[in-house]
């Protein structure tokens, strides 16, 4: 699995709760040259150096019937699965089935998810900045 940081999308958004700007980052992952996952990360933890992440896996063929989205919150102390979705816009068809925490922890995709999360938090500059509290 490889992340393509060259075409990551960084969208600067205002927080309605606190008024600060934050980044929403979209990263594309490939495996053997084929689309593998789309990852959305919200890089704003209201002062607690935390990011929220959604990863969607599937065939990338419409109508996206085989797609699954898993989510987590990540801090410097570690990561934990949460109910999907936390970083994406809700109305997108490609998100497929949104797993709750219990379903995610039982999903055969969970090891892939944690590998992807590790790659994102160690290579995406906007994510690294939040987790190291260099904002």
Sign of the Cα pseudo-torsion (64, 37, 93, 82, in order): positive
Q: What is the pLDDT of residue 102?
A: 98
Q: List, for residues 68-91, the tens digit of each pLDDT value.
A: 999 999 998 899 999 999 988 777
- Contacts made by residues 55-58, CB under 8 angstroms, sequence distance 24+: 55/113, 55/116, 55/117, 56/88, 56/94, 56/95, 56/96, 57/109, 57/112, 57/113, 58/94, 58/96
Q: Which two tokens stand for residue 61?
A: 């063929």
CB 30 within 8 A of CB 60: no
For residue 133, pLDDT beyond 80: no
pTM for the model: 0.91
CB 123 within 8 A of CB 5: yes
Q: Show me where the domains of the chain are located.
A: 2-130
Q: Give Cα 23 distance to the centre of its chain.
A: 12
Q: Which two tokens stand for residue 60?
A: 């990338």
Nearest to 5 by CA among 123, 109, 113, 95: 123
Q: What is the pLDDT of residue 116?
A: 95
Give the angle subtended at the CA of 15 by the CAs of 10 and 117, to the nearest 5°: 45
């Amino acid at each position: 699995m490889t992340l393509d940081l060259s075409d990551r999308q960084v969208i600067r958004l205002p927080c309605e709760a606190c008024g600060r700007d934050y980044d929403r980052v979209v990263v594309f992952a490939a495996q053997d040259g084929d689309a593998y996952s789309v990852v959305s990360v919200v890089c704003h933890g209201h002062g607690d150096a935390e990011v929220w992440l959604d990863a969607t896996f599937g065939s990338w063929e419409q109508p996206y019937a085989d797609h699954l989205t898993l989510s987590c919150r990540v801090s410097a102390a570690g990561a934990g699965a949460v109910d999907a979705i936390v970083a994406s816009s809700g109305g997108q068809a490609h998100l497929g089935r949104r797993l709750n925490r219990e379903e995610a922890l039982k999903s055969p995709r969970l090891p892939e998810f944690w590998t992807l999360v590790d790659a994102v938090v160690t290579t995406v500059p906007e994510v690294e900045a939040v987790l190291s509290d260099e904002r």
